[in-house]
Each structure stands twice: as structure tokens, then as C-alpha cells.
Chain A
Amino acid sequence: MIRNVPQTRTYFFGFRLYMVVYFIFLFAPLAVTCVLAFNDSMFPSLPWKGFSLEWFFGHTLERTGIFHDQINLTSIWVSFKTAFFVSILSTIVGTMAAFLFEQEDFPFKGALFFLMIAPLVIPGVILGISILLFSNTLGLFFETQFNLDFGLFRPGFWLVVLGQFSFITTIVTLVISARLKKFDPTIEEAAMNLGATRFETIFHITLKFLRPAIIGALAVSFLISFENFNTTLFLVGSEATLPINLYLQVRDGSTPVINAISFLIIFGTSILALVNLYFTKKE
């Protein structure tokens, strides 16, 4: 059953066959998407009509490659901007929350911790809807009471950032808390005995110790934000993020440009995953 227990032949081969099938199941959709991005055809399907880079670099009336496709390029840029702000914001607040729950003591800490992990069990669609409703309520309130009009309260870029921030911060907090648990508090005490203030200690010692976890959290939150669909769906205004934009295109019939974008996403996230692995291994 395990490495050091003798196994029967059927068990040995059966298990390995299962793993082979599993890996095919796992990689088949991604592999086929990547391969078809290079098919010289108008449709993302077989037969194979020869190798082509048209869906990346093409600039003809019939075929507009991704690097000349303005709508898709814009949505990629919007997703980058969103993910940039979400990852920075959620990492800052998540780090503060990790300090709060690991190192501080205050009344109702247990209840607040419970509230902090709540976004993990609230479906993303519900988060999106409730934030949409609440921002609408606030917008109406400011308009009727003070005759003020804030763009922030209408679906759009910043509402998407806030919506994604609301649950990604929980994930960041858990990642950084896990690292902070391993920190030896006597080092902080030593620094403070030698005259450092609490914030000097945190800045020079604790944050240095947390650096791999913080970089990991930045990478993870960037990716989650970049590919979020469920929460974003309700908050998006005129600037569609990449997943929303792709969803609309896939639903209404697809062209190999989507394969080309998918290829770039698969390639990009693999690199980010490797970078993240490199930093978490260092811990």
C-alpha cells in the first residue's frame, strides 16, 4: 500500500494506470487549447491545417491576432490594473490582520476572527451582489441627502477592486498568519529591550522574516484577482476584465484568438506559479 510495504502486481499497475488516466484528464483541456492556438484555421477545432502564428501576430481583415485585437488587449490591461491594486491593498490589510490576530489581544477577538474567515464560506456571487446593493444604497443616500454624486458607488473599476479585495484579503491573512505563527517572539522582545519601538521592531525584524510569505501572498492574490469571475460579474461597469470579456466571447461562439489568449494565460501563470514556488521553498 505504501512505499515500504510490499505490493501485489495488480495493485501496483492498477494504481499507476489510475494516475496516468488522471494526468490525461488534468492536462487534456489545457494541451488541446494550446495546440489549437497554432492551427491555421478559422475555427478552434480539428482538422489540423498547418502551423500558424496568425492568431498572435495576424493583422488582416479576416484574422486579427491577439497583439492587434484592441478589445481583448484593453481587457487584459484592465485585469492587470485591477490585479495590481487588489494585490497591493489586500496584502497590506492582510498583513495588518495577521499581526492583529497573532500578536494582539482585545475583547471579541474570537468573534472578529470568525468574521474574518467568513468570506471563505460566502459564495462569490453573493459577495458581488451584496457589495453592488450596498454601494447603490450608499450612492442613493449621498445623492438624496447631500446632492453628491460619487462614481465609486456605481459599477466600475474601483467597485471591482473592492469586491475582489473583500475576500482575497482573507486568503492573504491566512497565508501570512501561517508564517507569523513560526516566528519566535523573543527576537522581537530582545529588539524592544535594546530600545527599538514596536514599529521599528516590526519594520526591521518581523517584516524581514515575513518577506517570503508576503511575496507569495502578493503572487497568489494577483492571480486570484486576475482570473476572478463570480464576484466581478456583478460589479463590472464599462471596463470588462479579461475573464468577463472572454466569457462573453466564448458564450457567443469562439475563434482561435481565444486559444491564443488562453495560451498566453497558461504560459504566464505557469511562470508566476514557479516564481511563487521558488519563494515559498525558501521559507
Chain B
Amino acid sequence: MKKSIRWGLVIFITPVLLWLFLLIVLPQVDMFIMAIRGENELREVGFTLSNFGLFFSEPIYWQTFARTAVFAVMVTALTFIITMPVAFFITKVVSTRFQGFLSLLILMPFWVSELVRVYGWMILLRESGVINHFLVGLGILDRPVEFLYNDITMVMGLVYTSMLFMLVPLLSVLDSLDNSLIEAAYDLGANVWTVFTRIIIPHCMPGIVSGSIVVFMLTLGNYLTPNLMGGKNSLWFTEQIYNQFIASFNWNQGSAFGFLLLILSSAIIWAGLKLTGQRLGKVVQ
């Protein structure tokens, strides 16, 4: 009995260890080693911090970096504000008969690939797009306006593509909230705001945190949406990384940028977990 269980452990743990070490740990270590390698003035390859130095000395890099971080936090907050009422409506307001149907309907669009959804927005918003067609047709605009390629559209696109990852955890935590708690609060004279901040938010915290982590991480590392919907001026840090790798073929520099992005995302997620008193192992389940 004892022996067979040990064999079970060996059979289960081998593929898991291979997966985690060969595809997660060692590649990250390798990326770090690449990041601290570079050529000196004599074209000799050695360990150096110059790749990180360039990041701080060229304003375009650290400004894009900071911009990406700020926008990702903003997108996360906006996604929460927009989807919270939706999750509340489905779990608490609408009659139970429609609940299943509505939640299915609301999750359906997210099964479709991000590219198709962004493409849909491009057809709607661009200068020759559907919205311009109607606005000009109705006489609201004299001539078409380019709605694409600016920060506002890009943020909207990022919110749109990541709503699912906020909705699912919110639906599940709200579902487990006992309605009688809200009723009791009303009976005791609480107003909407008090109910929201004292009952709903504390109960939903694990879901809010897990949704926020995923949305934040996906937004920070997004390449597609900023690239297609953002303008020439709305650079995203992943585009900088991509340019280093594919356009400049400077893999050491690109690795340094990639490493910085990894540090940034881990640091902000860690700070978020600490601030809200949650634990990663708990919130992902």
C-alpha cells in the first residue's frame, strides 16, 4: 500500500516538474541571464547592467513603462466599475428564471477571440466605419471623424477585452452572498451606499482581488489591442519589447525590458494582495 502510493507520486510529479522547470523556471532564469549580458566598447560579451542603464537614460522607455503601468491600473479600475452593476443585476436583481440565460449570454462574446472583437470595434469606429456612417447620415456630423487611434479608444478596447475576467469571479462571489444580509441591513435603516460599502464590498473582496489581478496582468501584457486601437503616440511597453526582439534583433535589450515588465507586474500584484490582505493561493481558486 505504502509503496504503491509512492509510485503514484513519482508518476504524477515527473511531468509536472518537467513542465514547470523546463517551460517556466529555466526560461525565466535564462531571460534574466540574457538581460544582464551585453557587449562592451571592445565588442566583448560579458555581464553588464548597461541594458538596464539604457532603460533609465532614454526617457521614451521608462515613460512608456510608467504609462503602461498607469493605464493598466486605470483599465482594471474601470473594468470593475463597469462590470460590478452587471454582475449584481444578474445575481441579485433579475428574476431567477432569466438568471442562467443572462449569464450565458453575457459570457458568450468572450469565447470569441480577442482579435475578432478588436476587429469589430475597428469596423465600428474607424473613419469609414459604421458609427461614422450613421452620424453623417443623420446629419450629426458634417464629415467622418477618426475615432480610432487615440488613448480613449484604446482604454475602451482594453476594458472590453478583459471584462470577462472580472465578471466571472464577481458572479461567483455575489452568488454566495446571502440576500438576507442585505434585507436585514435595509430593515435596520441602512441606505444603498452603506449596504454597498459595508456588506457587498467586504463579502466580494476575494472575487474583486482575483478579477483585478487577472485583468491587470492581461492588460499590462497585452499587445494586440494597444497595437491595433492605440495611435502612434499611445505606445505600450510590450510593443517596445517586441521591437527590440523582432525589429532591432537586440535580444539582450529585449530581455532586460521583459524582465522589467515581469518585475512590475509581480510588484503591483504583490502590493495589491498585501493592501487587501488576500493570498494568491486563495484568490485563484
Which A residues are within 8 Å of any B CB, using their own CB?
1-5, 15, 18-19, 22-23, 25-30, 32-33, 36, 43-47, 92-93, 96-97, 99-100, 104, 106, 110, 112-127, 129-134, 137, 162-163, 165-166, 169, 174, 177-178, 192, 197-199, 223, 226-227, 229-230, 233-234, 243, 246-247, 250-251, 254, 258-259, 262, 265-266, 269-270, 272-273, 277
Complex contact A114–B183 (CB within 8 A): no
Complex contact B16–A116 (CB within 8 A): yes
Count residues of B near A (Cβ-Cβ below 8 Å): 92
Complex contact B112–A266 (CB within 8 A): yes
Q: Which residues of B contact A277 (CB under 8 A)?
A: 104
Complex contact A247–B115 (CB within 8 A): yes
B242 within 8 A of A: yes
Q: What distance in Å separates the Cβ of B41 from its nearest Cβ neighbour in chain A?
A: 25
Of the candidate stretches B25-33, B46-54, B57-65, B201-209, the one touching chain A is: B25-33
6 nearest CB pairs, A to B: A123-B221, A29-B120, A227-B113, A130-B27, A134-B27, A166-B23
Looking at chain B's contact residues, the main secondary structure is: helix
Complex contact B224–A229 (CB within 8 A): yes
Complex contact B109–A246 (CB within 8 A): no
A-B contact list, 24 entries, CB within 8 Å: A1-B93, A2-B182, A22-B86, A23-B105, A45-B129, A45-B130, A99-B8, A106-B13, A112-B16, A112-B20, A121-B280, A123-B217, A123-B220, A123-B221, A126-B31, A163-B23, A165-B19, A166-B24, A198-B5, A198-B7, A198-B8, A227-B114, A230-B238, A246-B119
Q: Which residues of A contact B108 (CB under 8 A)?
A: 270, 273
Instruction: Give CA–CA (A100, B11) in the complex, Å.
Output: 9
Q: Which residues of A contact B56 (CB under 8 A)?
A: none
Instruction: Give CA–CA (A38, B281) in the complex, Å.
Output: 48
List B residues 80-138 near A (Cβ within 8 Å). 82, 85-86, 89, 92-93, 95-96, 104-109, 111-124, 126, 128-130, 133-134
Q: Which residues of B contact A227 (CB under 8 A)?
A: 112-115
Q: Which of B82, B217, B224, B258 has the most CB of A within 10 A?
A: B258
Complex contact A104–B12 (CB within 8 A): yes
Instruction: Give CA–CA (A147, B242) in the complex, Å.
Output: 31
Instruction: Give CA–CA (A70, B79) in the complex, Å.
Output: 39
Q: Which of B89, B113, B130 has the most CB of A within 10 A?
A: B113
Residue of A nearest to B255 (CB): A133
B262 within 8 A of A: yes
Residue of A nearest to B14 (CB): A96
B176 within 8 A of A: no
